[in-house]
A and B are shown apart, each in its own frame.
Chain A
Amino acid sequence: MDGRVLVDIARPGADNMAIDQRMLETAAETGRLLLRVYRWREPTLSLGYFQKYLEFQEYVQQTSRSASPSVPVVRRATGGGAIVHHHDWTYSIAVPPAAGQTSKGLATGPAQKLYDCIHAEIALWLTEIGYAARLWDVSDESDRCPPKAGCSFLCFERRSRGDIVVGNTKVLGSAQRRHQGAVLQHGSLLLQRSEFAPSLSGLQEIAENPTVFAQDLGSALAQRISRSVDAYLPGEPTAVQALEELGIGDFAGIGQFSDHNWLTCR
């Protein structure tokens, strides 16, 4: 596999989204798999691509959190609900278009395939460090979330097939965007409750575990995600130390995520 992996520094929300977008474009252009794990420089709320900005405003009003208006907001290019990025690790993986039998189906098959592929490995890892993690499944129609009938604003208050849950607590969800045959998937692993989303528990509220805040947690997460796609794109990805080595040092040219018009386009 021609793949590269980066455990990145914490960056502002708009930069994180621009980098993810650039990863997707680069995967489509070069056929290279790119994986990045990262954190957010400050608590930030990311809206799903089709969510209305009005929903965010209503959320702020309903939660009546005096600190909320100061939380930066970005709109993702991927689907799903809103996420408060505070005490979480985020991963993003850009899978290139099908390039032979070994990669067949990951980028071009149903979206659920890539969710399941990566989530299964992360759930296994969480189990190994002491959490009874499993993939949530839709057991009956009533468990689904019809989007027109008042879906929760926050992603982690929703349930989708393949989400990682521990007991009744969702700890990881992901979303995708496709582009010229490539696919970007990114997701957040919730480590701890945030005062900006007090209804949501993280791993630390489920069971205190020093591993969760270990210095190398990001590296461990990246390693397990690399392992998950190995069956489709064999070969260990090359670890790099900087965005330039991912081939996306030019992400600053993607200005949409800093653009207020993009944020409020719906």
Chain B
Amino acid sequence: MSAQPHKPEDLKYNPSHEWVGVSEQDGQRIATVGITAFAIEQLTDLVYMALPDVGAAVKAGEEFGEVESVKAVSPLYSPVDGEVIEVHTELVDALETLGDDPYGNGWIMRVKLADGANLDGLLDFANYTQQCSES
């Protein structure tokens, strides 16, 4: 399922390298979540991925999935509170997509934001970029 690429400058970020972009759809706020190009470069060869189920509740800062690369299992942390409404299941058998198009077709899940959910605790592009440069 293809997707319009997001501009990294327009996104918000977890310190743990997940990105999120929010749009309005039919009066609801929908968050699209992925992992950053920096994270994918650090992970190197991705071999497995576990995704959440549609309908699952996710909470900011809590795990929603996992990836494995070089025998290391790394959790993915949700940047937002809400309900998973769509999962990019094709990624599991085409993990190279994450690296090829991390901010577009590499999207991982879409979340209907919970009432009152906000992105205040997340990093903007400038701060996220600085964090990456310091690591």
Say whether A associates with B.
yes
Question: Chain A residues with Cβ under 8 A from B47's Cβ?
Answer: 50, 79, 147
Which residues in chain A, 65-116, are within 8 Å of chain B measured between CB atoms? 77-80, 98, 104-105, 108-112, 115
Interface 9-residue window, one of B65-73, B83-91, B98-106, B114-122: B65-73
B48–A147 CB distance below 8 A: yes
Contact A179 B75 (CB under 8 A): yes
Question: Chain B interface mostly helix, strand, loop or mixed?
Answer: strand
Report B-chain residues with C-beta under 8 Å of the C-beta of A48. 71
Total chain B interface residues with beta-carbon distance under 8 A: 18
Contact of A178 with B by CB under 8 A: yes
Min CB gap A159→B, angstroms: 12
Residue in A98, A104, A111, A147 whose CB lies within 8 Å of B72: A111
Within 8 A of A (CB), among B114-134: none
Interface SS, A side: loop
- Contact of A174 with B73 in the complex, beta carbons under 8 Å: no
Answer whether residue B25 sits at the interface, using C-beta atoms and an 8 A cutoff. no
Please give me the residue from chain A that is nearest to B42 by CB atom.
A110
Residue of B nearest to A178 (CB): B74
Select from chain B the residue with minimum beta-carbon distance to A179: B75
A 133-162 to B, binary, CB cutoff 8 A, 1 in contact else 0: 000000000001001100000000000110
A176 at interface, CB cutoff 8 A: yes
Q: Are A50 and B48 in contact (CB under 8 A)?
A: yes
Assess whether B135 is interfacial by the CB under 8 Å rule: yes
Pick from B48, B72, B74 the residue with the most CB of A within 10 Å: B72
What CA separation (Å) do A98 and B135 show in the bound complex?
9
B28 on interface, CB distance cutoff 8 Å = no
> What is the CB-to-nearest-CB distance from A167 to chain B, in angstroms, rounded to a whole number?
22
**How far, in angstroms, from A105 to B134 measured CA to CA in the complex?**
10
- Once A109-B42, A147-B48 are accepted as A-B contacts, the answer to whether A160 and B70 lie under 8 Å apart by CB is yes
A109 touches B72 (CB 8 A): no
CB of B72 within 8 A of CB of A178, answer yes
Which has the most chain A C-beta neighbours within 10 Å: B44, B47, B69, B70? B70
Nearest A residue to B49 by beta-carbon distance? A50
Q: What are the residues of chain B within 8 A of A161 when measuring CB–CB?
A: 70
- Distance (Å) between the CB of A24 and the closest chain B CB? 11
Bound Cα distance from A104 to B42, whole angstroms: 15
Partner of A110 from B44, B50, B75, B93 at Cβ < 8 Å: B44
Whether B72 pairs with A79 at a CB distance below 8 angstroms is yes
Known contacts A77-B73, A111-B44, A175-B72; 9 additional CB pairs below 8 A are: A78-B71, A105-B135, A108-B135, A110-B42, A111-B43, A173-B71, A178-B73, A178-B74, A178-B75
* Residues of chain A at the chain B interface (Cβ within 8 Å): 48-50, 77-80, 98, 104-105, 108-112, 115, 144, 147-148, 160-161, 173-179, 183
Interface pairs A-B: 8 shortest CB-CB: A80-B71, A176-B72, A111-B72, A50-B48, A79-B71, A175-B71, A79-B68, A147-B47
